[in-house]
């Protein structure tokens, strides 16, 4: 069976685990356990073929750590997660994005999607649509606004990433 391994990176508390659990298990994770690092295996169909999407949910990746480097080297695709309710978590994504480019070096078209979470918390929102549009064009990456709680656009994220990996 063909396997696609992806890693989910971003600051602590932004909603990485909730996003992955919503996609892989179809439920909302309301508890916050910052230390959880877990791998999820999902069966997916790509062009009629059975494939496995192997998703690594990491615990906090703000800093440049040796562990990040291991994750990045191993993965073929990347889900970079920030919270729409915390503008400063975009900075973490920018750092991670640069780490990926450094580590993957000359490789072109590295499959990456950027995910803003907690879209349902509209009154707490700090990151505007304009900011997202600007960064999407500056970084040349697709952005998704999601809610793991309400199951908004969660599958779109993983479908886009699978599509990018398939095309390489």
Q: Is 116 in the site for ligand GDP (CB under 6 A)?
A: no
Q: Which of 6, 7, 9, 18 binds ligand GDP (CB under 6 A)?
A: 18
CB of 68 to ligand GDP, least distance (A): 14
Tokens matching residue 144:
């998704």
By CB under 6 A, name the one of 4, 6, 7, 17 that touches ligand GDP: 17
Contact 60, 35 (CB under 8 A): no
Among 1, 26, 30, 123, interactor with ligand GDP by CB under 6 A: 30
Give which of Mg ion, ligand GDP, none residue 14 binds (C-beta under 5 to 8 Å, depending on kind): ligand GDP
- Smaller CB separation from ligand GDP, 51 or 92: 92
**Region binding ligand GDP by CB under 6 A among candidate stretches 15-23, 46-54, 64-72, 100-108:** 15-23
Cβ nearer to ligand GDP, comparing 9 with 51: 9
On the CB side of 16, CA atoms within 13 Å amount to 32
The shares of helix, strand and coil residues in the chain, as percent rounded to the nearest 5, are: 40, 25, 35
Q: Write the DSSP assignment of 83-139 as a string of letters.
A: ETT-TTHHHHHHHHHHHHHHHHTT--S--EEEEEE-TT-GGG--S-HHHHHHHHHHH
The one-character DSSP state at 79 is E
Q: Which of 25, 32, 69, 70 binds ligand GDP (CB under 6 A)?
A: 32
For residue 62, state whether it binds ligand GDP (rule: CB under 6 A): no
| Contact mark string toward Mg ion, 10..29, x via CB under 5 A | ------xx------------
Q: How many CB atoms lie within 10 A of CB 115?
A: 30
Cβ atoms 102, 95 nearer than 8 A: no
Contact residues: ligand GDP, CB under 6 A: 12-18, 29-30, 32, 34, 117-118, 120-121, 147-149
């Amino acid at each position: 069976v063909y396997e696609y391994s992806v890693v989910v990176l971003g600051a602590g508390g932004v909603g990485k685990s909730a996003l992955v659990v919503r996609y892989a298990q179809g439920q909302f994770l309301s508890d916050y356990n910052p230390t959880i690092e877990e791998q999820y295996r999902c069966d997916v169909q790509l062009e009629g073929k059975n494939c496995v999407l192997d998703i690594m949910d990491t615990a906090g990746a703000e800093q440049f750590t040796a562990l990040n480097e291991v994750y990045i080297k191993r993965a073929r695709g990347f889900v970079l997660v920030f919270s729409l309710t915390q503008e400063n978590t975009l900075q973490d994504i920018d750092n991670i994005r640069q780490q990926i480019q450094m580590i993957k070096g000359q490789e072109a078209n590295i499959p990456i999607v950027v995910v803003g979470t907690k879209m349902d918390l509209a009154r707490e929102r700090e990151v505007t649509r304009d900011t997202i549009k600007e960064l999407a064009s500056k970084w040349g990456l697709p952005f998704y606004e999601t809610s793991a709680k309400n199951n908004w656009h969660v599958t779109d994220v993983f479908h886009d990433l699978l599509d990018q990996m398939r095309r390489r």
